[in-house]
Structures are given as structure tokens and as C-alpha cells.
Chains A and B, each alone.
Chain A
Amino acid sequence: MPNRKVSRRGLLAGAVGIPLAPAAIRGDMPWREGAADAPSLPRSGAGYLFFSSAEAAFIEAAVARLIPADELGPGAKEAGVAWFIDRQLAGRFGRGERWYMQGPWGPGLPTQGYQTRLSPAGVYRAAIRSIDGVVAREGRAGSFAKLQTADQDAFLKRLESGQVHLDGVETKTFFDMLLQNTIEGFWSDPIYGGNRGMVGWKLIGFPGARYDHSAFVARHGERYPLPPVGLAGRPEWTRS
């Protein structure tokens, strides 16, 4: 039975070859069962979908320096950030699907923002290849991942300040994206694969995807008593 609330009306009923007027909504607030716009979850599985093994070695090493494991607790690597970035790059974000990607391309000023022809996935691919090439030419190790951690930190600082030239991609564009995506993977909801065990949220005291703080708004200066919860609940809820 057709839905009375979302009708598709023919302009000239019965006429052949005349296009229909688009769907008109009238008479009520439309609602359909089972149509909730739930988040699109990353493909599961332990392996990488986007990164090659060389790229994965870089990304695991780099995120472990950007947010290191230390006396305060796990870092980005332990939080699953490399896997998070892999799934982001394998998906809509990696393709720059919502971005305006038509030419022509100009170098642009810093105030004009992102101006490369590459999608985010392309930026990562070009940058990692170039970085490992620079490291190998400098001779301390065959690739970034094989550097000592102190040398990795020093190299990341050179990337951050633009002292390393990369082929085909602006150093700042890549470094800013890598750092931003690392932070996203550390603090986004665990449904996207990072922030495993909510370690990012626990580190700072963020209670997660809770939707009612009304009992606490006027309790000034008190420690918030509840543990973090994600959109899919808490690990304790589903532990057998």
C-alpha cells in the first residue's frame, strides 16, 4: 500500500513520456520505521585495507610518537589509531568525497586552506613514500619506522616546521592532516576503531557519549562520578 504521507504525483496522470513531478511531502511529518540514519561503521578485521605494509610501519611508528605510551597510560598506537586512520582513508574521508575537488589547482595562500589535487588518501600515500625516501638517503635507517625513537621525534619536528621537502605534497598539508587524524583516532567514539578501551577519554576524564548531565550541571567543583560510555555502550556491558 502506498504511503499516504509521501506521495509521488504524476503531473499529467496517464500521459506517456512526461516526467513525474518529484516526491512531494504533504499532510504530515513523514516518518518511516527502520530508517534511522545510523553511523556507517568501518569494515572490521584486524588487517589494513588501505595501508601497504611499509605504510603501516610508518603510521604505527609515527602515531606512537605523536601520542606516546608513557607513565600516564596508553598512547595512540595502543588506542588503535593506525587502524582508525586506515579505515578513514579507505572510506569516504580518504576519497575526499564531500570536498570540492575540481580544477584548476593553484598553489594558494595559507588563508585559502587545502588546495592540493590529491585526496587525503593520496596525500598519505605520496608523503609516506617521500618521507621514507628522505630517511633512507640521510642514512640513519632504511625507513622512518626503523629510526630510533629520539630520531623519529627529531624527524617529526622537522616535518612540523616544514624543514623537510616532500615530493608531490606540501609538508605542512601532510603533517597537519596526520596530527589531526591521530587526535581524531585517540578521542573519537570507539565505534570507529580508535580510542580502544576508551583510553583517550579515560586519560582526560571525558565521559563520552552520555546524553544527560542535568543532575550534575549545578554540582560545581565535584568530580564527575560516572565512567565513560560510547555509542555502543561500554566493554563491561558486553563482557561474557
Chain B
Amino acid sequence: MATRLPSVDVLVVGFGWTGAIVAQELTDAGLNVLALERGAWRDTPIDFAPTFDQDELRYYWRHELCEPLAHETLTIRNNAGETALPMRRLGSFLPGINVGGAGVHWNGQVWRFLPSDFVARTHNLSRYGKAAIPADMTIQDWSVTYPELEPHYDRFEYICGISGKAGNLQGQIQPGGNPFEGPRAREYPNPPMTMSYPPTLFADAARELGHAPFPQPSANMSRAYTNPLGVQLGPCTYCGFCEKFGCGNYSKASAQTTILPVLMRKPNFTLRTQSEVVRLNLDSDRKRVVSATYVDASGQEFEQPADLVVLCAYILHNVRLLLLSGIGQPYDPQTGQGLIGKNYAYQIVSSVNVFFDGKLLNPFIGAGAHGMIVDDWNGDNFDHSRLGFIGGGYVGVVQTGARPIETHPTPEGTPKWGSAWKRAVASNYLTSMSIATHGSVMSHRGNYLDLDPTYRDVYGRPLLRMTFDFTDNEHRMSDFITDRAAEIARAMRPREIKVNKRKGSWDVVPYQTTHNTGGAIMGGDPRSSAVNRYLQSWDVSNLFIMGSSAFPQNPGYNPTGTVAALAYWSAEAIRTQYLKSPGPLVSA
């Protein structure tokens, strides 16, 4: 029997980026906030010190900062005709565990979505007509607009100390920035990172072809920085161990390096680690959440009452917790009814390897978001008439480092082992680079999340089941932008290139991106969305659901900037509207 604990004003479930943001904002409003985190405390000096952090085997290949699947995983299949089987080892995406979540081992690529991304349905309909959106493509508008989110993007960028170059300051296009971005109120807090050779070569070639390359917005510090909370970050050292690693130098923004030093000292904030929420409990009308049941490391059950509950776990865990708690109606792909689990989407990626003779690129010098990007083919930045798809993605060289177990490129036709392979690796490692494409995934009627009928976690609860595949729209889009990447590659006048298009069905084995989205989407009314424009559950008004689960479809950028902006937007609505009059912020 669960032990009932004293009630708190706000219960935050999951303590990564959004948990830290929400707790910081709501403790500032004077509320008593408790965060429950299923993992352990993690911080720089003890857990990712530079004396042992640069360890490719441990952190990438043995996934020591990622979710242990023995505890909980999900099942996967490409379509409803297949039997879903468990993701037994990590591959395609890498959810985090412990304080800071996946925001500890992320790259730090911080984007704003395009203004047109937030009105994807009406924008594409008005520009291309009804035929542009197939019947099974279930995209919709967000019900929040870019101008509304702008101050919240800005807030996050200044909390993190983003290094970058504005492309659009209050409507004025700025040379050297992204000319396609929405207007921003002010410049980035820090100048762009110093570029190593590969991004520089890419930018030169792209410029020669008439494109507009710009430095990638980066949560890796281009210089020492003190953020608006007074927390200090150090300059990035370009060590090349960023993606899938913690940062030992306090140079990558994370909850630990930007918010926690202030939040943890507040008297009205408490964190309980090793405390995994297994269920939300509703009142008899099922209109209010009254408490969360959680299990500690020893297996003891506790019931934690709260006036307001904010879900801040990873998207897959948030959606699963809703399904396990019976909140909202599960989505049914046959009827199209129900909203929980609807519009799961992902990201589609491809690459082009570029091999030079004798050009020393030193690819091991890098950082998670250290690159030059071309955005000419993202979103609706280009005319899609007669292309047969909507959406797009960015093309760029992001030199994250070149840890050799992961990165040892060889030209087309090279065997995978033996002397010829060894020769090819040795002669190309220092003189090759890769252009990446990073594309949108539109939502589709057949791509969704629900509960698996067979497989269970350590508590005996059903695992989440993911049914997902890329559709023709995604393949056409990705092939199109990969061809553009290959054109830029050729313009670099290399010895040879290797084009790696994304062929076939989604495959769980190779790492792609940890950019899962949807399942508790936002929108303008309860018939088409699980949460309203403030991320408040339509069904349970004292429940707010943070994270990329709110994305109705996934634009062609990394999601964290928008996840954080939405968290600040939602927290502001809680502070300025909900606290005055608890209840639905939007009438159904």
C-alpha cells in the first residue's frame, strides 16, 4: 500500500530541461515545487569530469548516460500489419536517464522553427492547394504562432548562452545569418563558434553556388558567459566529445550548467531522485489529477498529492504515462478517433561523405553544434510546386568530432574489413568529412503510439508500442535535399564523394536522431488535440504536458529550442493566468 505524502503546490514529473525550466519559473512565482526524477543526481565534477569524460566506448557504445532498456523500453514495428517486438538495445534514438535527462548528452543544436512551420496545414493549403496534403497526412496547425513564442525562444537562448549570428533582426535581414529565420528581437548572446576546416570548406562551396551558409546556433560556448540567472559557463575547448557525452568543461548548456545552481538553492524547491512515477491518479469525475503514485529505489510505493502536475519526462514516457493513467482517449488508426498517441513523428536524415587528397581536415576537432548550415531547402523556404512533397530540412557540416569507433569513413566499394579496408581508413581519416541533411517528418494516419499487448516493464506495466515508417513524402523530400548536399559536395572539388540516401523503412539499428515527436499534440480544440495552446490537457485542467509530444508534426530542425520555448510559454501562462483562476485556459 502506498504511503501518502503531504501535498505540494506543483509536482514536476521528470527532471531534465523542461523540468528545470518549469520548476525555476514556478518557484519564482512563490509556489512550492517538488520534482520527481526516476534516475540519480548527476553533475559535472563527479559524473562527467574531463579526466574521464572523453571515453567513446563507455558513453557512446555502452550508453552509460542513456536509458537502460532492462528497466523499460518500447516495442517497435513499421506498420500495423507487423508484430511489434521490443527495442532490446539502443540504436535509432537515445533517451536519457538521471537529472538533466537527454539534455546532458545532447549536442546543443538550438533552433527556432520557421513562422510557417507553426501553421503548416493552412500555409501549405494556401500556397499549393488541397492536392499538396494527401488524405492520410494528418498535419495540423500548432495553435501557437512564431511571434507568440519569440520572447520564449529568446529567453532560452540567453539562459543557454547560444553562440550564433542573427539572420533577421526585427525584420532586417542580416548578412552572415540565416536569411530564412523568423524575426528575432535581438542578436544571439554570444558570437558564433570558431569554425574548423570542414565547415569552412562547406560554407565556401555553398556560397560559390549562391546559397546562404551561416553558423549553426550552438549551446557550446564561443566564450565565457554569465547567463541572466548569474550562472557561469566556460569557453568550449572543441574537444570533440559532446554528442552522447557530458561536458567536463561547463561549456555546453544543460540544466546543470544553466539553471540548477540557482534552482537547487531555493527553499521552495525539492528534488527526489530515484523516484519513478508509475501512475497519475484522477478524481472521480476524471477532470482533475489529484496525485501521482511513484516507486523509490527500494520498491516502496508513495502517493504524492499536488494541486498542479506538470509532465516533464521524455516524450515517449509522457505519452505512456497518459495511456497507463487512462487520461484522454487512446488514438485508433482505423477510425482516426482518439488523441493520445496520435501523430507520432520523427526526423529523416542522410549524408554525403567527401574525400580529399592531401587536405588535412583534423576532423577530431569539434563540438556538438559547431558547423555551417544552408537552410535554403528547409520548411517552405523554396517552391515545392511539382516536387511531390512538402517539408524540408537543413544541409550542413556539423563537425561534432570524429571519434574513431563511430567515424572511419571509406570510399564507395571498400570492403568492411581486412587489409584493403585498413588501408582505406588510414588514408582517409584525416582528409574526409561528411555533409549531413536533417529533414522534417510529416504526421501520418498510420504512425502512432499505443500500449503493447504483450511486453511489460520491470513493474509489469505494458510497454509503449511505436508504429512508424517513413512515407513517400519523407523519402522524396530527403532524396531532394540529399541531391542538393551532393551538389555542394562536388563544388568542393574533392577526389570523390559517397552519397548515403535514406532508403527503405525506418530501422531501429543505426543511430539517427533523438528527435521523437507527437503523441499528445497541441491544437485549437479538443477534437483535434490532446493539449491546448498552453500545453494544458483538455481533459484534465490541472495537468500540463511539456515536451515534443506537443508537436503536431516534426519540422526540419532539432527540437530542443522549441521544446524549451514552449515550456517557458506554458510556464508564463500558468503564472499569469492559471494561478489567478485555476481551470481550463482555453474554453473547449
Interfacial residues, chain A to chain B (CB-CB below 8 A): 11, 18-19, 21-32, 35-39, 65-68, 70, 72, 75, 92-93, 96-102, 104, 106, 108-115, 153, 156, 160, 179, 182-184, 187-189, 192, 200-201, 203-214, 216-218, 220-224, 231
Contacts and interface: CB of A to CB of B under 8 A. Distances in A.
B422 A70 contact: yes
A108 B85 contact: yes
A27 B264 contact: yes
A210 B239 contact: yes
Nearest to A109: B82
Leading 7 A-B pairs by shortest Cβ distance: A188-B57, A209-B54, A204-B429, A22-B296, A212-B237, A220-B197, A100-B69
A21 B302 contact: yes
9 contacts: A72-B423, A98-B89, A99-B70, A101-B70, A184-B61, A211-B239, A211-B248, A213-B237, A214-B238
Contacts of A218: 194-196
B53 interface: yes
Given A179-B416, A222-B360, A211 B54 contact: yes
Interface in B192-208: 194-197, 200
B260 to A, nearest CB: 6
Contact of B362 (A96, A179, A216): A216
Centre residue among B274, B404, B423, B509 by max chain A CB count within 10 A: B404
Nearest to A32: B46
Given A23-B274, A101-B70, A11 B237 contact: no
Contact of B3 (A19, A26, A109, A153): A19
Given A113-B89, A184-B61, A184-B405, 17 more contacts: A26-B270, A26-B271, A29-B43, A30-B41, A35-B46, A36-B51, A98-B68, A99-B69, A99-B70, A104-B454, A113-B88, A113-B508, A188-B55, A203-B422, A204-B408, A211-B53, A218-B194
Interface string B29-58: 000000000000101011101111111111
Contacts, number: 239
B297 interface: yes
Given A108-B85, A113-B508, A179-B417, A204 B404 contact: yes
B508 to A, nearest CB: 5
Contacts of B269: 26
Contacts of B54: 189, 208-211, 231
Contact of B404 (A96, A201, A214, A231): A201
Nearest to A25: B271
Interface string B246-278: 001100000000001100110101111111000
B302 A66 contact: no
A222 B359 CA distance: 9
A109 B84 CA distance: 10
B196 A220 contact: yes
Interface stretch (B73-81, B136-144, B549-557): B73-81
Interface in B399-439: 402, 404-405, 408, 416-419, 422-423, 425-426, 429-430
B365 interface: yes
B86 interface: yes
A184 B57 contact: yes
Contacts of A67: 417, 422
B300 A100 contact: no
A36 B5 contact: no
B426 A203 contact: yes
Nearest to B78: A111
B155 interface: no
Nearest to B504: A111
Contacts of B422: 67-68, 70, 72, 75, 203
A37 B47 contact: yes
B62 interface: yes
Given A11-B3, A72-B422, A187 B52 contact: no
A211 B237 contact: yes
Interface string B271-288: 111110000000000000
A183 B68 CA distance: 23
B225 interface: no
Contacts of B57: 184, 188-189, 192
Nearest to B431: A205
A141 to B, nearest CB: 20
B238 A27 contact: no
A231 B302 contact: no
A66 B416 CA distance: 9
A218 B350 CA distance: 27
B519 interface: no
Contacts of B82: 109
A231 B51 contact: yes
Nearest to B59: A39
A121 to B, nearest CB: 14
A75 B425 CA distance: 13
Contact of B197 (A29, A209, A221): A221
Contacts of B454: 104
Nearest to A22: B296
A7 B43 CA distance: 18
Contact of A211 (B50, B58, B85): B50
B55 A25 contact: no
Nearest to A36: B46
A217 B440 CA distance: 31
A211 B3 CA distance: 47
Contacts of A179: 416-417
